[in-house]
């Protein structure tokens, strides 16, 4: 049965400019939907919203969270919209679909005290120990995404002007400033890298022991494994480091628009999520500091 998933993948890659990781996630959701329909012997032209609703009910019964179900439904909407605009199907079956109500998960950033525990001597005293330290430091100092760090190339690092050019979502390039400490750290790391791999190596900044670019699994494990030692927080990931960068910048008085530009958000609403965390910290400080409500003033 033809379901045009390969054509859909090509559309996401070439027309929508999605990353390979995103394309794989979208297509995987679509394939799961077709797996669900396989027992019903439904062909593409027969798909109705009723089938989508049945799938959603099944996912919910299996204990899948509303947030995850909404993400899968968004993949389906994108897929069927592609089929509709290319006139592969005559009607769009998700026209009236509304997302399920889902609680927004509040990302808890690492504290400044936890980040101060990130020291060079905590890592192995070799090139790869240095690289791991630089990766964590760059995440925290720049707020770049995991995919942006993996794809960062040597020629896009300008140590004279202390900035890097990163390729973000939709292949949009932006300039991210570097503080003095990180610029010097990168200068030393790049020299060590040249000694380790030579001038003819892969152009990506961070490399595996085989001289290839590092992958997403490696980066996630690095962050998760390291921060397990310094924090009791349950979620430890590159995205939490990005969140930490934005929250600490905001707490220190940085303008929300400035943070938006550095993070590469397309709209300010995406950046405003960090104000919630800052407000939480503000309330906690207020409760601890106000003389009327401090515990140590109570009889």
pLDDT computed for residue 297 by the predictor: 45
Q: Determine the average pLDDT of the residues in 215-236.
A: 91
Which of 77, 169, 233, 235 is flagged as catalytic? Answer: 169
Residue 295's pLDDT is 54
pLDDT grade, residue 221 (50/70/90)?
very high
**Local confidence band at 16 (pLDDT 50, 70, 90 cut-offs):** confident
Task: Tell me the C-alpha distance between 80 and 8, whole Å.
Answer: 9
Which position has the higher pLDDT, 30 or 122? 30
- Percent of the chain exceeding pLDDT 70 equals 89
pLDDT, residue 271, reads 79
pTM of the complete model beyond 0.85? no
165 catalytic? Reply is: no
156 is catalytic: no
pLDDT reported for residue 277: 58
Selected catalytic residue, list 26, 72, 79, 145: 145
Rama region for 170: left / alpha / beta (φ>0; ψ in -120 to 50; rest): left
Residue 18 pLDDT level (bands cut at 50, 70, 90): confident
The CA–CA distances, whole Å, from 261 to 143, 144, 238 equal 11, 11, 19
Supply the pLDDT for residue 288.
Answer: 63
Per-residue pLDDT at 282: 55
Average pLDDT over residues 221-247: 91
Between 13 and 276, the higher pLDDT residue: 13
**Residue 193 appears among annotated catalytic residues:** no
- Taking residues 124-144, what's their average pLDDT? 96
Q: Is the pLDDT of residue 78 over 90?
A: yes
| pLDDT bucket at 298, cuts 50 / 70 / 90 | very low
**Mean pLDDT rounded to a whole number for the chain:** 88
Catalytic annotation present for 145? yes
Residue 212 annotated as catalytic: no
Identify the pLDDT of residue 52.
Answer: 95
Q: Catalytic one among 72, 193, 242, 248? A: 242
Residue showing tokens 């430091």: 137
Return the pLDDT at 299: 43
- By C-alpha distance, which of 68, 33, 25, 80 is closest to 52? 33
Predicted confidence (pLDDT) at residue 202 exceeds the cutoff of 50: yes
Q: For position 17, what pLDDT does the model report?
A: 83
Q: Which of 187-201, 202-216, 258-272 has the lowest mean pLDDT?
A: 258-272
Reported confidence tier of residue 118, pLDDT bands at 50, 70, 90: confident
- Going from N- to C-terminal start, the domains of the chain cover 5-85, 112-288
Annotation says 71 is catalytic: no
Model pLDDT for residues 237-289, shown as the tens digit of each residue: 999 999 999 999 988 888 888 899 999 988 877 777 776 655 555 566 556 66
pLDDT digits (tens, 9 = 90+) for 34-70: 999 988 888 999 999 999 999 999 999 999 999 899 9
Q: Which CATH architecture has domain 112-288?
A: Orthogonal Bundle (1.10)
Q: What string of H, E and C letters represents the secondary structure of the chain?
A: CCCCHHHHHHHHHHCCCCCHHHHHHHHHHHHHHHHHHHHHCCCHHHCCHHHHHHHHHHHHHCCCCHHHHHHHHHHHHHHHHHHHHCCCCCCCCCCCCCCCCCCCCCCCCCCHHHHHCCCHHHCCCCHHHHHHHHHHHHHHHHCCCHHHHHHCEHHHEECCCCEEEEECHHHCEEEEECCHHHHHHHHHHHHHHHHHHCCCCCCECCECCCCCECCHHHHHHHHHHHHCCCCCCCCCCHHHHHHHHHHHHHHCCCCHHHHHHHHCCCCHHHHCHHHHHHHHHHHHHHHHHCCCCCHHHCC
């Amino acid at each position: 049965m033809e379901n045009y998933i390969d054509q859909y993948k090509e559309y996401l890659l070439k027309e929508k400019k999605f990353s390979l990781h995103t394309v794989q996630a979208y297509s995987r959701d679509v394939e799961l939907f077709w797996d669900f329909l396989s027992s019903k012997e439904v062909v593409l032209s027969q798909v109705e919203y009723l089938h989508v609703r049945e799938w959603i009910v099944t996912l919910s019964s299996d204990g899948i969270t509303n947030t995850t179900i909404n993400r899968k439904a968004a993949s389906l909407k994108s897929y069927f919209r592609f089929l509709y605009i290319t006139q592969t199907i005559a009607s769009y079956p998700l026209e009236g679909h509304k997302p399920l109500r889902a609680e927004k998960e509040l990302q808890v950033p690492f504290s400044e005290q936890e980040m101060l525990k990130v020291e060079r001597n905590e890592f192995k005293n070799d090139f790869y120990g240095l690289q791991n330290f630089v990766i964590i430091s760059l995440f925290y100092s720049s707020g770049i995404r995991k995919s942006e760090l993996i794809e960062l190339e040597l020629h896009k690092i300008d140590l004279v002007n202390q900035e890097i050019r990163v390729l973000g979502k939709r292949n949009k390039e932006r300039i991210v400033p570097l503080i003095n400490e990180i610029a010097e750290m990168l200068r030393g790391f790049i020299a060590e890298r040249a000694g380790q791999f030579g001038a003819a190596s892969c152009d990506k900044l961070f490399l595996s022991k085989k001289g290839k670019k590092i992958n997403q699994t490696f980066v996630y494990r690095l962050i998760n494994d390291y921060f397990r030692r310094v924090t009791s927080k349950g979620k430890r990931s590159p995205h939490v480091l990005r969140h930490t960068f934005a929250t600490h910048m905001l707490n220190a008085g940085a303008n929300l628009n400035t943070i938006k530009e550095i993070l590469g958000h397309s709209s300010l609403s995406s950046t405003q999520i960090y104000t919630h965390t800052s407000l939480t910290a503000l309330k906690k400080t207020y409760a601890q500091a106000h003389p009327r409500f401090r515990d140590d003033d109570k009889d």
